[in-house]
Amino acid sequence: MKELSEQQSLLEQVESGDLEMGQLESLGFRSTDDLCKKIKQLKIKLNLISKEQLEQEKYSLLATSDETLTEEQLKQKKFQ
């Protein structure tokens, strides 16, 4: 649980600009996506989120109309 809170804190720092990518890389993460994946894995491991919930989140754009999505979200939807 401690590891999860530490990594969530790291993500908040990256998003707020307090932590640079170089610092994140020195902690063993190549990108913010790597950090997000690790957080999700820990949540599953700690039974804070089920694999089914993760799948629903992963494919959430499929049920959304194209008109309400941004260009980036449209690209993601094509991959889903």
Give pLDDT, residue 40: 86
For residue 77, with 0-12 CB atoms within 10 Å meaning exposed, 13-18 middle and 19 or more buried, which class applies? middle
Give pLDDT, residue 59: 75
For residue range 21-44, list pLDDT tens digits in order.
889 899 899 988 899 889 988 988
Counting residues of the chain whose pLDDT is more than 70, the rounded percentage is 99
pLDDT band at 66 (very low <50, low <70, confident <90, very high): confident
Give pLDDT, residue 20: 86
pTM of the predicted protein model: 0.61
Contact assessment for residue 44 and residue 50, using Cβ atoms and an 8 Å cutoff = yes
